[in-house]
């Protein structure tokens, strides 16, 4: 019997219980990157880029964190899908994947534009300062991040809140909090740049709660095993 269970037909790839840590990693890396960039770049979008000379290193550090944050976010999406299991619905899954991947893609595009400006500045600072490309690139980057990406993150949260309310794989209070924060992201665009931090804070909350649930399930499983052995 033991030989039969080792056959490949009995094997199943399982999600590591600690995979929920990926959401915490995303929240920390993305939040640190955003705060670092926001504190470095002046709030006036029509400046000529004089600040690049003293702040280029900080911008580069902030941008270098984003790819790793994106990888962690993909793991976080996998954890959420694994928790749904057989309750997964094709309609809501399409919205879930679409909004999550669009958010990530827009974040990468915005950071790539900023990285491109940084590369041009490293080659020829005067070229960046005297060309209109800097103003256009910065305006496009701001629009992608604070208008489109933030709405996709709100959509991502709204879909998950609906899934959790219907399937009850997460507590009702967390779904309600998710609805409230998603609504704030959808309607508060343009009020303040710091609203972007709502999403990583929410990811952090969900990841911590998921870890707690996983540890509780593991503890209960261990206690049941000890009872059976006794």
Per-residue pLDDT of the chain (230 residues; tens, 9 = 90+): 444 444 444 444 455 556 778 999 999 999 999 988 887 776 665 555 566 667 777 888 888 999 999 999 999 998 888 888 788 888 888 999 999 999 999 999 999 998 888 888 777 777 766 777 777 888 888 889 888 999 999 999 999 999 999 998 899 999 999 999 999 998 876 667 788 899 999 999 999 998 888 777 666 665 555 444 44
If you search the block for the tokens 């944050």, which residue do you land on?
69
Give kind and range of the element (H or E) at residue 90: helix 90-123
**How many whole angstroms from its chain centre is CA 176?**
20
Give kind and range of the element (H or E) at residue 101: helix 90-123
Is the separation of the CB atoms in 185 and 153 below 8 Å?
Answer: yes
| Stated pTM of the model | 0.82
Q: 189-214 burial, b for 16+ CB within 10 Å, e for fewer?
A: beeebebbbbbbebbbbbbeebbebb
């Amino acid at each position: 019997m033991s030989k039969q269970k080792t056959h490949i037909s009995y094997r199943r790839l399982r999600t590591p219980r600690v995979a929920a840590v990926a959401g915490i990693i995303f929240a920390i890396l993305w939040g640190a990157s955003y705060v670092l960039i926001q504190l470095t770049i002046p709030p006036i979008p029509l400046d000529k880029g004089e600040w690049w000379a003293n702040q280029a290193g900080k911008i580069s550090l902030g941008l270098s964190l984003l790819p790793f944050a994106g990888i962690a976010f993909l793991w976080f999406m996998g954890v959420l899908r694994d928790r749904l299991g057989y309750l997964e619905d094709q309609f809501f899954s399409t919205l879930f994947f679409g909004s999550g991947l669009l958010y990530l893609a827009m974040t990468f595009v915005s950071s790539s534009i900023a990285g491109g400006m940084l590369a041009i500045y490293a080659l020829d600072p005067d070229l960046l300062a005297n060309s209109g490309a800097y103003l256009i690139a910065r305006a496009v980057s701001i629009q992608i991040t604070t208008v489109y990406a933030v709405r996709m993150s709100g959509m991502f949260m709204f879909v998950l809140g609906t899934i959790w309310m219907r399937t009850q794989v997460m507590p009702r209070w967390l779904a309600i909090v998710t609805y409230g924060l998603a609504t704030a992201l959808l309607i508060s665009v343009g009020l303040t740049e710091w609203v972007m931090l709502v999403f990583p804070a929410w990811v952090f909350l969900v990841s911590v709660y998921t870890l707690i649930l996983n540890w509780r399930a593991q503890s209960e499983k261990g206690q049941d095993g000890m009872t059976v052995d006794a």
